[in-house]
């Protein structure tokens, strides 16, 4: 199970009916076969080994190193019995691909497949590890394809470009300038050929040797999208000189469902174009397959490519964090790439585009948080990890390395002038030197984590080829090599031809030349570097005429001996990207702590980039001085005639005399039809100071030639000697037979008189020359031994190249020697070296094998209303027939069931022969508490009986509920919920129905609270589940304490119940009350007794400021000089429970004479009054009021008449004013609290 799933958010069960296609089971080979495979993978890359470059087919790989055939059959039958459909079984006997539904997978593998969220993205994944039946669990390594977390492409889009019709130059490739005048180099095939010196004179004009262009080589690319090949056609006609009639297009191979065209089509275009640009004549097979709901189509395409065995090089430009991928993915990749290496397929994998932080997504994240990591698809020791570089120097020296005065000429448009110095590709820093000096590079205010991947694997140990040159970290280090991966930061990017809905296809030409409407795109990433290196390796395959297999052995050997010739060392820069402070492996400067480039190998650029022509020229390690080798037999080069077994003296002389190493004797003898080929090295002669010799009596019978093959050393080239004819006749022979018996742990049995049935019993035979004796015979017999048991032929066994035959043959199942006494012999038919003979006889006795009975309940704690499945395993240390017979299951003196229909698994790899039966036991048939369950096995003719027991505890199912109190303000929709925890007891599991009710409320409550809770909740495991209780109230709800009762019962029977209560305290909204000291009665003008005390009391905890205001809201009709009011203070503060006070004061007017100076008001003349009225009229309106002025004049005349009366009138005394009109008034006082509702109070005022 992936580690990321453990931290995911569970979104619920996945749809059980969801189809699940292309799920793959990785099989586990026996330990001895794995050891043999490891040795083979070493030998096949060792020029001194007879197995050197002897590649296998998938079927041969399966026969030699795959899972046992009987295991494959057993597992396949089991998968089908679970309702799953077998899609394919790999001929390599290492993978079984099948399909079904999510529900069938959950049942078959006893796992849970859930909908989950990881980092905000929804996925479907198994949340528990898949379980394999014990009967054959040792034969299964892992299951991959139980989730939809798929690898992503390692591609970075660069800037687009277009042909400039004004300058009539192809600016995208050569002279496109950005906003600050920096040019871009759009790298096309001819540019790449020039920069990396590929041995193709058409593309690389500086190369003068034989051209290698991939002719006769088939290479592969894998992806998960189909592809429109129109852009590929345009790319090849634009940059490779091909025409639409001769274009060398890839072959698209769809495995299973067609994925259609999707977002990863851009990745496909880049891979096909770059690889084809480096190796134009190579045949390219593009393998693709659709993702299913829970499996990756990319993996299906990879399996198809390896099993088709049609490609010599396979390029993969996808990645997945190794640490998060889980052992399922790394086990799958490790196995598939082992197979590829054995078949001679070289696999190149991109190292990733997130710098040293491969566990972060460079396409969506701006800072790394998950620590150092590497690409889990490329960390296997059996693939080449390809990292990324950039041409940082172009920012200051563009014209030094690129022709700027020309756009290049069709058909190749080359403008690069030479190799361009490289640094690790890193867009995350603005200063690409030592990582300690890194500074964040901002784009639109954001950082990025884009850069070439590299680091140390946390899964695979360091392979032998890396021991001398890489860090001493005991880990597989990445990358191995690096090439351009830039996406334009320093002015370099790979040219890309794609198509879009707006512009149509890129790279359109007219008669082989671009037009003003031709558009281009750019792309980078280790997705570009990887197919580029795959193309270079295709050239090596063409040059050597052979597949290469895992080329890392050669690459690191070249680095050790010819580093400066073959490699461009990347010595400055780093691949550390921006990280979040405080996260794993984040340094003090805000960048990851790895890795710097340096002299030689480093985890930022690997061994560096390559000079492709030099790599090809030095591939065969043809270094040092040439040599000649001479061979003599018995001191002569004359033909030799001898009887087999005669010792011959072989002498080897190598020139120069300083030669060291070894020379192998090679014969051209051929065996009879159907027998093993004898070609090879029957003996090896050590060479020191140019000479070596040995005596050997094992040359095979026949007429043929013998020569010596000197393998060379670090200073001397290999060479082959003269050939000497020999004629070897057969000699009299004997066969030595011995019987060896072992238990399943491989320990020899002390006695042959009591061998348990099913033990390892080997009748081992070896043919030797009678004359020289067993110890002195060096020859190798061929043919087949016939083995007899008590005079009856038991079978045959082939004689191996080591002159050894074992019955039954190694790798086959054991021969089922029956219980009883046996006498075995073997007969040898003879060959050209040895005459026929019959072996000695050996006797032994087989006895019944012991068994053990073991019980495995599905659950050891059984809920009383459920059932349990109990598997009873009858096991024995046996590789023969599995136990048969009858199993009886009982408990408490009662038989629970019997079964004679045992399911068997024979010859299980872990040495246990197993038969089993599964019993369904009802909890109701057992007693509450601990029950001892006993299984009794009867035994059969091969095995003795046995008994076993286990305990199952039966518990009563129960649930419990817990919740919390609620304190809520009346009418509030916040703080009105409580968590309800539903827990299981007694092993209860299943849905629980929930309800709630208000069971207690304050007396005479108004608008009492109501409650709500989800109708059901699922207790799917042992962990409690939670629901939310919601209490609803209104502003008018009576405050006080309420009680809500929550009830739960199991949905299945309603018999399992529980309840709990929540105390709900409803409080009012903070407010105030306003009161006064009562009515006021005053005389007009009174200044005492004219006030009322105001009191503001806090309610429900109100605190804060309260402002006061007042208004006379009712007065007597036509009141003169009515009362006025004021409140003092106008603002009060409440800080606790104490009321605040203020005073309302009423003001009135007493009756008094009214005069203006000494002149009574009536004495004011009309003229004056008219004048005042005139000046009160706004100026702007005076002209408009001429009629009004006439009226004023009349008033003035009236005034004068009034003044013209008797003079006595001027002495009339002043009149008196009555003051405030007496009567009843009402004053309204308003108190306004901060954040609460205003309150009013009225004060009745009587004026006398």
State the DSSP string of 984-1029. EETT--EEEEEEEEEEE--TT-SS--EEE--SEEEE-SSS-EEEEE
pLDDT above 50 for 881: yes
- Starting at the edge strand that comes first in sequence, how are the strands of the sheet with 85-89 ordered? 85-89, 95-101, 19-27, 140-144
Asked if residue 471 belongs to a domain, the reply is yes
pLDDT of residue 152: 87
pLDDT at 501 over 50: yes
Q: Which of 932, 953, 974 is the last residue of a domain?
A: 953
| Beta carbons within 8 Å of 156's beta carbon, 6+ residues apart | 353, 362, 450, 485, 487, 523, 524, 525, 527
Three-state DSSP class for residue 1112 = strand
User: What is the rounded average pLDDT for all residues in the chain?
Assistant: 87
Q: Output the pLDDT for position 167.
A: 46
Q: Which of 590, 617, 644 is the last residue of a domain?
A: 617
| Cβ count near 744 (within 10 Å) | 19
Q: Is residue 1126 located within the same domain as residue 1173? A: no
**The token pair that represents 114 in the structure block:** 């859930």
The pLDDT of residue 582 is 95
pLDDT at 1: 61
Q: Is residue 50 part of a domain?
A: no
Note the pLDDT of residue 623: 44
CA dihedral of 836, 842, 847, 851, whole degrees rounded to 10: -60
Say if residue 706 is in the same domain as residue 841.
no
- Report if residue 791 sits inside a domain: yes
Are 731 and 776 spatial neighbours (Cβ–Cβ below 8 Å)?
no
46: in domain:
no
Average pLDDT over residues 74-79: 90
Does residue 497 have a pLDDT over 80?
Answer: yes
Give the pLDDT confidence score for residue 614 in this predicted structure.
96
Q: Under a CB-based contact definition with an 8 Å cutoff, are residues 530 and 492 in contact?
A: no
pLDDT of 1170 higher than 80: no
543, pLDDT greater than 80:
yes
Based on the structure, what is the number of domains in the chain? 8
* Token pair in block for residue 82: 């679970």
Distances (CA, A) of 971 to 1009, 1013, 1227, 1235: 9, 19, 33, 16
At residue 806, the pLDDT reads 82
Give the span between the Cα atoms of 768 and 781, in whole angstroms: 8
Rounded (10°) CA dihedral 783, 789, 795, 799: -30
CATH number of the domain encompassing residue 374: 3.40.50.200
Distances (CA, A) of 685 to 49, 664, 711: 13, 6, 11
Give domain status of residue 1001, yes or no. Answer: yes
Average pLDDT over residues 514-529: 91
Of the candidates 932, 980, 988, the residue with the CA atom closest to the CA atom of residue 955 = 988
pLDDT at 980 over 70: yes
Claim to verify: residue 1229 and residue 1141 sit in the same structural domain: yes
- pLDDT single digits (tens) 611-652: 999 999 999 874 445 789 999 999 999 999 999 999 999 999
Question: Is 51 domain-assigned?
Answer: no
Residues 181 and 327 in one domain: yes
> pLDDT exceeding 70 applies to what percent of the chain?
88
Give 671's contacts (C-beta < 8 A, 6+ positions apart). Answer: 677, 678, 700, 782, 831
- Region 766-778 average pLDDT: 92
Residue-wise pLDDT tens digits, 689-722: 999 999 999 898 999 999 887 765 545 656 779 9
Is residue 286 within a helix (H) or strand (E), and if so which, with residue range? strand 283-288
Question: 699 is in which domain, residue-wise?
Answer: 628-729
Mean pLDDT of 819-826: 96
Question: Left if phi > 0, otherwise alpha if psi is -120 to 50, otherwise beta: which for 733?
Answer: beta
Within this chain, do residues 497 and 376 fall inside the same structural domain, yes or no? yes
Residues 716 and 766 in one domain: no
Candidate ranges 161-170, 434-443, 699-708; pick with highest mean pLDDT:
434-443
Rounded mean pLDDT, 500-509 = 88
Same structural domain for residues 402 and 429?
yes
Same domain, 1030 and 1102: no
pLDDT at residue 1092 in the model: 95
**What sign results for the dihedral spanned by CA atoms 26, 29, 35, 39?**
negative
**Inside any domain, residue 294:** yes
Give the three-state DSSP class for 1153: strand
Over range 514-524, report the average pLDDT: 88
Task: Dig out the tokens for 1097 from the structure.
Answer: 């009391």
Residue 879 · residue 811 · CB < 8 Å: no
In this predicted structure, the answer to whether residue 755 has a pLDDT above a threshold of 80 is yes
- Provide the pLDDT confidence category of residue 811 given band limits of 50, 70 and 90: very low
Which of 1104, 1228, 1082 minimizes the C-alpha distance to 1149?
1082
Predicted pLDDT at 1176? 40
- 50 or 1004, greater pLDDT: 1004
Predicted confidence band of residue 547 (pLDDT cuts 50, 70, 90): very high
Average pLDDT over residues 950-975: 92
pLDDT of residue 408: 66
Q: Residue 835's domain is classified under what CATH number?
A: 2.60.40.10
The verdict on 367 and 236 lying in the same domain is yes
What number of other Cβ atoms are within 10 A of residue 181's Cβ?
A: 6
High-pLDDT (> 90) share of the chain, % = 64
612 with 554, same domain? yes
For residue 24, list its beta bridge partners. Answer: 97, 144
From the CB of residue 121, how many other CB atoms can be counted at a distance below 10 Å? Answer: 11
| Mean pLDDT score, 431-445 | 95
DSSP β-bridge partners for residue 1127? 1144
Residue 101 belongs to a domain: yes
Per-residue pLDDT band at 128 (split at 50, 70, 90):
confident
Same domain, 274 and 174: yes
The DSSP result for 300-330, as a single string, is HHHHHHHHHT--SEEEE-EE-BHHHHHHHHH
144 and 159 within one domain: no
pLDDT digits (tens, 9 = 90+) for 576-618: 999 999 999 999 999 999 999 999 999 999 999 999 999 999 9
pLDDT at 367 over 70: yes
pLDDT at 43 (0 to 100): 80
Q: Is residue 674's pLDDT more than 90?
A: no
Backbone angles phi, psi at 435, to 5 degrees: -60, -25
Structure tokens at 831: 């060959």
- 231 neighbors 521 (Cβ within 8 angstroms): no
The structure tokens 């599995």 sit at 882
In this prediction, residue 1194 carries a pLDDT of 39
Q: What is the pLDDT of residues 1117-1155, one digit of tens each?
A: 999 999 999 999 999 999 998 999 999 999 999 987 654
Radius of gyration, alpha carbons of the chain: 49
Q: How far apart are CA 1196 and CA 1204, in angstroms?
A: 12
- Reduce the DSSP state of residue 860 to 3 states and report it: coil
Average pLDDT over residues 271-276: 98
Decide which of 1153 and 372 is more confident.
372
Among 907, 925, 953, identify where a domain stops. Answer: 953
**For residue 868, is pLDDT > 60?**
yes
* Bridge partners (DSSP) listed for residue 246: none
Cα 1126 vs. chain centroid, distance in angstroms? 77
Q: Alpha-carbon distance 153 to 150, whole Å?
A: 10
Considering 114-128, 1022-1036, 1156-1170, the range whose residues carry the highest mean pLDDT is 1022-1036
């Amino acid at each position: 199970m992936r580690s990321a799933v453990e931290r995911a958010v569970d979104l619920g069960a996945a749809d059980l009916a969801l189809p699940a296609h292309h799920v793959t089971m990785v099989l586990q080979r026996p330990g001895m076969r794995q050891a043999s495979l490891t040795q083979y993978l070493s030998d096949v890359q060792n020029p001194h080994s007879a197995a050197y470059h002897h590649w296998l087919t998938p079927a041969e790989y399966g026969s030699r190193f795959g899972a046992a055939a009987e295991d494959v059959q057993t597992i396949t039958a089991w998968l089908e019995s679970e309702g799953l459909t077998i899609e394919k079984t790999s001929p390599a006997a290492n993978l079984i691909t099948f399909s079904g539904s999510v529900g069938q997978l959950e049942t078959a593998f006893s796992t849970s497949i859930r909908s989950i969220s990881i980092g905000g993205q929804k996925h479907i994944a198994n949340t528990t590890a898949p379980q394999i039946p014990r009967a054959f669990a040792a034969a299964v390594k892992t299951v991959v394809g139980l989730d939809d977390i798929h690898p992503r492409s390692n591609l970075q889009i660069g800037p687009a470009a277009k042909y400039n019709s004004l300058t009539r130059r192809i600016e995208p490739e050569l002279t496109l300038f950005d906003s600050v005048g920096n040019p871009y180099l759009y790298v096309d095939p001819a540019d790449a050929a020039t920069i990396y010196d590929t041995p193709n004179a058409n593309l690389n004009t500086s190369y003068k040797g034989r051209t290698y262009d991939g002719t006769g080589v088939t290479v592969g690319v894998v992806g998960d999208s189909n592809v429109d090949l129109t852009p590929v056609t345009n790319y090849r006609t634009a940059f490779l000189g091909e025409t639409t009639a001769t274009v060398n297009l890839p072959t698209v191979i769809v495995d299973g469902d067609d994925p259609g065209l999707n977002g990863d089509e851009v990745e496909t275009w880049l891979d096909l174009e770059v690889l084809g640009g480096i190796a134009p004549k190579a045949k390219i097979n593009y393998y693709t397959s659709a993702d299913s709901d829970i499996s990756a189509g990319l993996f299906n395409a990879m399996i198809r490519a390896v099993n088709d065995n049609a490609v010599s090089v396979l390029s993969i430009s996808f990645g997945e964090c190794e640490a998060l991928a889980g052992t399922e993915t790394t086990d799958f990749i490790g196995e598939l790439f082992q197979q590829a290496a054995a078949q001679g397929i070289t696999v190149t994998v991109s190292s990733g585009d997130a710098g040293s932080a491969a566990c972060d997504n460079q396409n969506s994240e701006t800072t790394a948080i998950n620590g150092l990591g590497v690409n889990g698809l490329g960390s296997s020791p059996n693939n080449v990890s390809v990292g990324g570089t950039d041409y940082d120097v172009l920012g200051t020296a563009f014209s030094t390395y690129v022709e700027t005065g020309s756009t290049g000429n069709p058909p190749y448009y080359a403008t690069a002038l030479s190799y361009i110095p490289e640094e690790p590709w890193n867009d995350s820093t603005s200063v690409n030197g030592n990582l300690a000096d890194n500074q964040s590079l901002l784009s639109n205010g954001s950082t990025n984590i884009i850069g070439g991947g590299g680091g140390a694997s946390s899964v695979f140990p360091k392979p032998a080829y890396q021991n001398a040159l890489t860090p001493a970290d005991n880990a597989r280090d990445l990358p191995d090599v690096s090439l351009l991966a830039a996406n334009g930061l320093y002015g370099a990017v790979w040219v890309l031809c794609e198509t879009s809905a707006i512009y149509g296809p890129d790279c359109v030409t007219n008669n082989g030349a671009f037009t003003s409407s031709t558009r281009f795109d750019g792309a980078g990433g280790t997705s570009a570097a990887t197919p580029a290196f795959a193309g270079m390796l295709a050239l090596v395959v063409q040059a050597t005429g052979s597949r290469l297999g895992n080329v890392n052995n050669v690459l690191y050997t070249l680095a050790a001996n010819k580093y400066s010739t073959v490699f461009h060392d990347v010595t400055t820069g780093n691949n550390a990207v921006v990280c979040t402070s405080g996260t794993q492996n984040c340094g003090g400067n805000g960048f990851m702590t790895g890795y710097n480039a340096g002299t030689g190998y480093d985890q930022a650029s690997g061994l560096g980039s390559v000079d492709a022509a030099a790599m090809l020229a030095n591939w065969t390690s043809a270094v040092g001085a040439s040599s000649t080798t001479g061979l003599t037999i018995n001191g002569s080069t004359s033909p030799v005639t001898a009887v087999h077994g005669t010792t011959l003296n072989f002498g080897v002389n190598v020139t120069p005399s300083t030669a060291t190493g070894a020379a192998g004797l090679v014969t051209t003898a051929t065996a009879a039809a159907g027998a093993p080929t004898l070609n090879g090295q029957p003996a090896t002669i050590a060479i020191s100071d140019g000479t070596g010799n040995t005596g050997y009596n094992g040359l095979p019978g026949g007429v043929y030639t013998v020569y010596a093959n000197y393998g060379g050393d670090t200073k001397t080239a290999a060479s082959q000697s003269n050939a000497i004819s020999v004629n070897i006749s057969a000699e009299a022979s004997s066969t030595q037979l011995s019987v060896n018996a072992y238990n399943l742990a491989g320990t020899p049995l002390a006695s042959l008189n009591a061998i348990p049935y099913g033990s390892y019993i080997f009748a081992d035979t070896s043919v030797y020359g009678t004359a020289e004796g067993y110890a002195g015979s060096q020859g190798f017999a061929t043919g087949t031994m016939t083995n007899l048991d008590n005079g009856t032929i038991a079978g045959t066994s082939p004689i191996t190249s080591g002159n050894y035959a074992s019955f039954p043959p190694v790798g086959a199942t054991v021969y089922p020697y029956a219980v009883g006494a046996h006498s075995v012999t073997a007969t040898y038919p003879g060959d050209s070296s040895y005459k026929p003979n019959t072996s000695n006889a050996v006797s032994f006795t087989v006895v019944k094998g012991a068994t053990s009975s073991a019980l495995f309940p599905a659950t050891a704690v059984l809920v009383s209303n459920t059932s349990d499945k109990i598997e009873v395993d009858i096991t024995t240390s046996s590789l023969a027939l599995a136990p048969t017979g009858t199993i009886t299951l009982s408990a408490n003196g009662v038989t629970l069931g019997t079964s004679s229909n045992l399911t068997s698994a024979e010859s299980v790899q872990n040495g246990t022969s197993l038969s089993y039966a599964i019993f369904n036991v009802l909890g109701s048939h057992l007693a509450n508490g601990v029950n001892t369950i006993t299984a009794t096995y009867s035994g059969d003719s091969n095995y003795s009986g046995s008994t076993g027991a286990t305990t199952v505890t039966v518990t009563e199912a129960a649930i419990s509920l817990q919740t919390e109190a609620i304190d809520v303000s009346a009418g509030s929709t916040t703080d009105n919920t409580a968590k309800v925890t539903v827990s299981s007891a007694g092993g209860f599991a299943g849905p629980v129905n929930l309800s709630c009710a208000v069971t207690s409320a304050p007396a005479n409550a108004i608008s009492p609270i109501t409650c709500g809770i989800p109708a059901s909740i699922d207790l799917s495991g042992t962990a409690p589940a939670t629901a939310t209780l919601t209490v609803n109230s209104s502003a008018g709800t009576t405050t006080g304490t309420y009680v809500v009762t929550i009830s739960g019962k199991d949905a299945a029977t309603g018999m399992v119940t529980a309840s709990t209560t929540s105390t709900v305290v409803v409080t009012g909204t903070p407010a105030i009350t306003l009161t006064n000291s009562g009515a006021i009665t005053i005389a007009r003008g009174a200044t005492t007794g004219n006030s009322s005390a105001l009191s503001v009391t806090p309610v429900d905890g109100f605190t804060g400021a309260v402002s006061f205001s007042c208004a006379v809201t009712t007065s007597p009709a036509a009141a003169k000089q009515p009362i006025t009011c004021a409140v003092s203070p106008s603002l009060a503060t409440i800080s606790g429970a104490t009321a605040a006070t203020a005073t309302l004061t009423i003001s009135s007017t007493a009756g008094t004479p009214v005069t203006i100076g000494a002149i009574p008001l009536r004495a004011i003349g009309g003229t004056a009054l008219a004048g005042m009225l005139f000046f009160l009229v706004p100026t702007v309106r005076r002209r408009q009021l001429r009629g009004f002025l006439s009226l004023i004049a009349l008033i003035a005349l009236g005034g004068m008449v009034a003044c013209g009366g008797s003079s006595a009138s001027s002495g009339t005394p002043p009149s008196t004013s009555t003051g405030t009109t007496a009567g009843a008034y009402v004053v309204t006082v308003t108190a306004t609290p901060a954040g609460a509702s205003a309150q009013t109070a009225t004060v009745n005022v009587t004026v006398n």
